[in-house]
Chains A and B, each alone.
Chain A
């Protein structure tokens, strides 16, 4: 037995869960898939007095399309997302949404993804995690519930720093809503990690909608290059209205890299990460803007 003692609560509804969060707030941790939290409990890096297990909460999981918006419940397993939304999956009718399935496929190993949840990954907010980058690039909305009601949070407001989000202690992340992207949207997620299944040294998520050879809409976010997911609105803005020539993409990538302040650690120096970010960003954008998507494979 590794974790410090805790009180275990297993509510069945969202209403009960937010009541418990109101009651225990700061002393409680929400247990979803547990693939990051339980190791922290086992190392006793986290010692919450109360664990609120949301795995039995009804209405918190599942993937739905409502009025053209994709809605993914917080306790949806990463494996389910991977199966449903990767290219060729049954839910991949929208070229942008396939990015979520691609991102999920990079998380840990199969055995982690069968248990790990979408909401857990987002609320944990590891700066090197793939899903926060994917939802940022897609311009998704995170939905939080408390006893006071529901609020919608944009990714750049939600991800506040190292393992830090905008969620208040009495709030539960219930779902993420992903807008529809136009026809002709392509997405690409590229990642470099030391070993298969490791967190990214750097990952780049890119979504690009094209019409008549020009970019009409774009979203770009990076993981592993800052204290949290780094959105790149300047890169997206620089592409919109333009023909995405390699020269333009290279300039945008160089501009972004000059402004990045990536961490230095045992997994890579800041300089290495900056160089990696530039290369991956160029390749991801070339892939997402090319009709065949051959660029990234090359």
Chain B
């Protein structure tokens, strides 16, 4: 049977699930291929932060409510805390680190800078990727569409006014 079965590292462990289990995954993150062994119960966002050092993706609620861990998996926004790293094997992940080019902010980030789109900044990476997904193939999005997209990202500082304004501004300024 061609089943991807993980080796039990500790052979003395009792029962099939008692041992530490690792599997080697190959995942493309922001264009770079990484091949790493990873415990099967490590979430994608923990893998990105702790194994790859990409600490831009934040860990908030860890049960899919806050959206701080939003990353793009094969170009679709997903919760990084509700996906195991092993599930990203063979897939492409995009994080907030992919937006800026060197010291030059992405137009979306520039708009957040100019229009007060953040205060503490904890929710910002997830919101940037949500907005990136919303604007990537669209022009002239309405405020209602922006707020609908943002409904999956919690911000406890701004009251969202600045965020909505920033996304509206980026809709104008981002040449795409």
Q: Are B3 and A6 in contact (CB-based, < 8 A)?
A: no
B83 within 8 A of A: yes
Q: State whether A35 and B79 are in contact (beta carbons under 8 Å apart), knowing that A8-B6, A10-B3, A16-B1 are contacts in the complex.
A: yes
B104 within 8 A of A: no
Q: With a CB–CB cut-off of 8 A, which chain A residues contact B17?
A: 5-7, 49-50
Q: Are A110 and B152 in contact (CB-based, < 8 A)?
A: yes
Q: With a CB–CB cut-off of 8 A, which chain B residues contact A20?
A: 3
Q: With a CB–CB cut-off of 8 A, which chain B residues contact A19?
A: 1
B161 within 8 A of A: no
Q: Which of B27-35, B41-49, B116-124 contacts A (4 or more CB under 8 A)?
A: B41-49
Q: State whether A39 and B82 are in contact (beta carbons under 8 Å apart), knowing that A5-B17, A196-B151 are contacts in the complex.
A: yes
Residue of chain A at shortest CB distance from B147: A196
Q: With a CB–CB cut-off of 8 A, which chain A residues contact B152?
A: 108-112, 197
How many whole Å from B157's CB to the nearest CB in chain A? 18
Most B CB atoms within 10 A — which of A11, A16, A38, A109? Answer: A109
Roughly how many angstroms separate A19 CA and B3 CA in the complex, as a whole number? Answer: 11
Roughly how many angstroms separate A6 CA and B19 CA in the complex, as a whole number? Answer: 9
Q: With a CB–CB cut-off of 8 A, which chain A residues contact B1?
A: 11, 16, 19
Query: How many of chain A's residues touch chain B, expressed as a range?
Result: 35 or more
Residue of chain A at shortest CB distance from B67: A111
Roughly how many angstroms separate A5 CA and B3 CA in the complex, as a whole number? Answer: 19
B111 within 8 A of A: no
Q: Are A114 and B78 in contact (CB-based, < 8 A)?
A: yes
A161 within 8 A of B: no
B23 within 8 A of A: yes
Roughly how many angstroms separate A110 CA and B40 CA in the complex, as a whole number? Answer: 26
Most B CB atoms within 10 A — which of A20, A111, A114? Answer: A111
How many whole Å from B128's CB to the nearest CB in chain A? 13
Q: Are A114 and B42 in contact (CB-based, < 8 A)?
A: no
Roughly how many angstroms separate A19 CA and B83 CA in the complex, as a whole number? Answer: 24
Q: Are A110 and B77 in contact (CB-based, < 8 A)?
A: yes
**From B42, B133, B148, B149, contact of A1 by CB (8 A):** B42
Q: With a CB–CB cut-off of 8 A, which chain B residues contact A11?
A: 1, 3
- Considering only residues 73-103 of chain A, those with a C-beta below 8 Å from chain B are 79
Q: Are A110 and B149 in contact (CB-based, < 8 A)?
A: yes
How many whole Å from B152's CB to the nearest CB in chain A? 3
Roughly how many angstroms separate A10 CA and B3 CA in the complex, as a whole number? Answer: 6
- Considering only residues 45-89 of chain B, those with a C-beta below 8 Å from chain A are 46, 62-64, 67, 70, 73, 76-79, 81-84, 86-87
Q: State whether A8 and B84 are in contact (beta carbons under 8 Å apart), knowing that A1-B43, A196-B148, A196-B151 are contacts in the complex.
A: yes
Q: Which residues of A contact B (CB under 8 A)?
A: 1-12, 16, 19-20, 34-35, 38-39, 41-43, 49-51, 53, 55, 79, 108-112, 114-115, 195-197
A-B pairs with beta carbons under 8 Å apart, 19 shown: A2-B62, A3-B41, A8-B21, A8-B84, A9-B3, A9-B4, A10-B4, A20-B3, A34-B87, A38-B63, A38-B83, A39-B63, A50-B16, A111-B67, A111-B152, A112-B64, A114-B73, A115-B73, A115-B76
Q: Which residues of B contact A (CB under 8 A)?
A: 1-6, 15-21, 23, 39-43, 46, 62-64, 67, 70, 73, 76-79, 81-84, 86-87, 130, 133, 148-149, 151-152
